[in-house]
Amino acid sequence: MQKVDLRSVVNLAPQMLTVMEPDGRVTWANEVVLDFLGISLADLDAHDLRARIFHPQDVEKLGEERRAALARGLPFESEQRMRGKDGKYRWFLVRYRPQTTAQGRVVRWYGGATDIEERKQSQEARQAVEEQWRAAFESNPTMYFIVDATATIVSVNALGAEQLGYSASELVGRSVLDIFHDSDRAAVRKHADECFGRPGRMMRWEARKIRKDGTMLWVRETGNAVMLKKRPVLLVVCEDITEQKRAEDAARRSERELRAVIDTIPVMAWTTMPDGSNDFANQHWLEYTGISSKAATGAGWKLSFHAADFASHWEKWRTSLATGMPFENEARIQRARDGEYRWFLHRGIPLRDENGNILKWYGVSTDIDGRKRAEAEIERLHQLERELVQMNRVSMMGELAASLSHEIAQPVSAAVANAEACLLWLQRETPDLREACEAASRIVEDLRRTADIIDRNRSLYRRDAPKREMINLNELVREIIVLLRDKSHQHAISIRTELDTAPATISADRVQLQQVLLNLMLNGVEAMKETGGELTVTSNKTEDGELLISVSDAGIGLPVENAGRIFDPFFTTKAHGTGVGLAISRRIIESHGGRLWATANSGRGATFRFTLSTEAMMNAMTGRATSVVAHY
């Protein structure tokens, strides 16, 4: 048998081996230890070696364990972190066994250290996951239950117990069916069995639970069968839907009440599906047409329309169904009790889901027969009026012709006389050119007079451009303040001005700028009519030579979600507003070469500002600006 070199075996073994004296001094270590720590055998005697190689958090604990073990003389082991020569700490399982004499005295300790870094990392990872899971389970703001196959509660989080008025310890170990309403227990048991029969597949159901105080709550539960410590359990997430159920009950009651109202109102109401098939007609519609409810929700509704109106009505209705645009049409419907056809205005709008898909059409048919008759009568009167206007025009043209002939006769007669005189002067044996030229000059003057008369009468029928004039904007502001004085006092609103002492005089249409200032200042008064406050109007010149006018209020401010739309035509936040005032004002200012905008104040209210450029005003005098009201 070959002799084994034990020293080589010890030094080349993959485990760390050490020898320690009874007093705790390490006197020998194999090459694995020395190589890992990056030291020599001589360094083992260093008094601070342990402090250098062991983790600071482990040194004190290891010292106590070592002293206790040495005192008992029994084998011991511990887990500790040691720092290698690369400066990194790794976990090791260290075991020591004593060598003793026959009398039991320890003469030497032999130790071995096994690297357990990967195992410790794996344990720490599992512990972290378990701690996170437990923290999520215990602290989650959702009710959680864990139930075994016998319907016994294995675990419940704090919120789950609290929502039912129990502590967690009161629920763990009892049947989960005990906390459900009697009428729902069988269904819950069935759902749980289905979950256990299909592990990994989630199921949802709704049921009623009874709190400890006897009150009830509705829950929506999601169950999923999983394996926990090698046994199947049901993880149940519970969502409190009590308020939702109350809202649904209230909605059903409201729907019944609304249906009763819809059936009794004196207006035909109906609904259709996206394909155009009727699915509801109110009682008034059924009684008026004499069509049964079953026929009305089919195609029978078509029979109630006048034959002359139905084709165009159906074509418009199909177009709305295809495009999703609101429907509106006038058509006659036959009244069942006497067979009379009366005119109705039919309107329908679509109800859409969050994705824009049409769920249903809602419509009403309003009797407008009286209006149609009135419109026919008004049209007859309008026709008569047009005929009278035409007769009046003929009469006025006659008078105008007589007036024109009288006015034009004198300059024309004078021109003829001067022309004859001119000919005579020219036909003399020796033409008198000086006299002929004077006569010709008088002819030109007479004809110009004639043209002026004609042009003056023609201007009566011509639409001229807005009138521009030189105006002082400060005076214009003061005029508007006078107009608003009663209204502002009525609502406890004061109007303060900070006007430039020497504002530029600008060329503009006075009426249009009055309209802008009145609109902005009146809007400010309207914004403060509930609270009162101060309206401030300022004017000053900018560095660019423009005139800047500001109207600031302390009212309700700009609409947060639609601040960018306030200048859009027909957009308004007023209950009875038309939505054209600010749009027209902006158009007026732009036509004068300026700019109008609005900003929210740092406190309450909003400020509207507009600029007017003197250079732009001079350009506007060339006639480029046109009427702005016509755009709306």
DSSP 7-54: HHHHHHSSSEEEEE-TTS-EEEE-HHHHHHHT--GGGGG-TTHHHHHB
Beta-strand relationship, 493-499 and 533-541: parallel
For residues 57, 60, 62 and 68, what is the CA-based torsion angle, rounded to 10 degrees?
Answer: -160
Q: Using one digit for the tens of pLDDT, what is the confidence trace for 565-576?
A: 787 766 677 665
Q: Where are the beta strands (DSSP E) in 469-543?
A: 469-472, 493-499, 505-508, 533-541
Higher pLDDT, 456 or 448: 448
Cα–Cα dist 288/452, whole Å: 69
Q: Using one digit for the tens of pLDDT, what is the confidence trace for 33-61?
A: 888 888 888 888 777 778 888 888 888 88
pLDDT band at 215 (very low <50, low <70, confident <90, very high): very high
pLDDT of res. 134: 60
Instruction: Name which of 284, 267, 259, 288 is nearest 346 in CA terms.
Output: 267
Q: Using one digit for the tens of pLDDT, what is the confidence trace for 303-357?
A: 889 999 999 999 999 999 999 999 999 999 998 888 899 999 999 999 998 888 9
CB of 223 closer than 8 Å to CB of 143: no
CB of 330 closer than 8 Å to CB of 344: yes
Higher pLDDT, 619 or 368: 368
What angle is formed at CA 601 by the lines to CA 595 and CA 604, rounded to 5 degrees? 135
Verdict on whether the full-model pTM lies above 0.85:
no
Indicate if the pLDDT at residue 630 is higher than 60: no
Indicate if the pLDDT at residue 10 is higher than 80: no
pLDDT band at 623 (very low <50, low <70, confident <90, very high): very low
Classify residue 623 by burial, with Cβ atoms within 10 Å: 0-12, 13-18, 19+: exposed
Inter-axis angle of helices 581-591 and 510-527, nearest 10 = 140
Measure CA of the first residue to CA of the last residue in the chain; give whole Å: 116
Element (H, E) at 426: helix 369-427
pLDDT band at 392 (very low <50, low <70, confident <90, very high): very low
Indicate if the pLDDT at residue 621 is higher than 70: no
DSSP state of 574: S
Residue with tokens 């002026």, as numbered in its chain = 452
Cα–Cα dist 583/591, whole Å: 12
Q: Which two tokens stand for residue 288?
A: 């008026």
pLDDT of res. 393: 38
pLDDT band at 8 (very low <50, low <70, confident <90, very high): low
pLDDT of res. 346: 92
CB of 184 closer than 8 Å to CB of 216: no
164-173, 207-216, 292-301, 418-427 — which is least confidently predicted? 292-301
Cα–Cα dist 157/210, whole Å: 17
Beta-bridge partner residues of 508 = 469
Neighbours of 295 (CB within 10 A): 18
pLDDT of res. 185: 92
User: Phi first, then psi: what are they for 108, rounded to 5°?
Assistant: -170, 155
pLDDT of res. 184: 92
CB of 626 closer than 8 Å to CB of 591: yes
Instruction: Name which of 164, 161, 221 is nearest 194 in CA terms.
Output: 221
Mean pLDDT, residues 212-221 taken together: 91
Indicate if the pLDDT at residue 386 is higher than 60: no
DSSP state of 437: H
CB of 351 closer than 8 Å to CB of 361: yes
Beta-strand relationship, 327-334 and 278-281: unpaired
Higher pLDDT, 368 or 200: 368
- Describe the strand order of the beta sheet including 216-228 as a list of residue ranges: 153-156, 143-148, 231-240, 216-228, 203-210
Cα–Cα dist 36/117, whole Å: 14
User: Phi first, then psi: what are they for 394, rounded to 5°?
Assistant: -60, -40
Question: Helix, strand or coil for residue 429?
Answer: coil
Mean pLDDT, residues 16-45 taken together: 84
Q: Using one digit for the tens of pLDDT, what is the confidence trace for 261-311?
A: 777 777 888 888 888 888 888 888 888 888 887 777 767 778 889 999 999
Q: Which two tokens stand for residue 293?
A: 């409810």
83-87, 168-172, 253-257, 274-278 — which is least confidently predicted? 253-257
pLDDT of res. 609: 93
Compute the residue count for the chain.
632
Inter-axis angle of helices 473-490 and 510-527, nearest 10 = 30
HEC sequence for 300-311 = HHHHHECHHHHH
Classify residue 271 by burial, with Cβ atoms within 10 Å: 0-12, 13-18, 19+: middle
Average pLDDT, the chain: 80
Cα–Cα dist 372/529, whole Å: 41
Cα–Cα dist 487/211, whole Å: 61
Question: Helix, strand or coil for residue 508?
Answer: strand
Cα–Cα dist 49/34, whole Å: 12
Q: Which two tokens stand for residue 462?
A: 């011509």
What angle is formed at CA 148 by the lines to CA 142 and CA 150, rounded to 5 degrees? 130
pLDDT band at 109 (very low <50, low <70, confident <90, very high): confident
pLDDT of res. 579: 61
Q: Using one digit for the tens of pLDDT, what is the confidence trace for 504-545?
A: 678 887 777 877 887 788 888 888 988 889 999 999 888 887
Q: Which two tokens stand for residue 456?
A: 């003056």
Q: State which amino acid sits at residue 164.
A: L
Instruction: Name which of 213, 191, 207 is nearest 242 in CA terms.
Output: 207
Instruction: Name which of 448, 476, 601 is nearest 533 in CA terms.
Output: 601
Write the CB contacts of 66 (distance below 8 Å, at least 6 apart in sequence). 24
Indicate if the pLDDT at residue 626 is higher than 50: no
DSSP state of 625: -
Cα–Cα dist 480/486, whole Å: 12
Write the CB contacts of 363 (distance below 8 Å, at least 6 apart in sequence). 269, 270, 271, 272, 327, 346, 347, 348, 349
Q: What percent of the chain has pLDDT over 70?
A: 82
Instruction: Name which of 446, 269, 500 is nearest 363 in CA terms.
Output: 269
Higher pLDDT, 509 or 94: 94
Neighbours of 142 (CB within 10 A): 15
Q: Which two tokens stand for residue 440?
A: 């010709």
What distance lies between CA 236 and its chain's CA centroid?
35
For residues 515, 519, 521 and 526, what is the CA-based torsion angle, rounded to 10 degrees?
Answer: 150
DSSP state of 84: -
Classify residue 528 by burial, with Cβ atoms within 10 Å: 0-12, 13-18, 19+: buried
CB of 66 closer than 8 Å to CB of 50: no
pLDDT of res. 115: 87
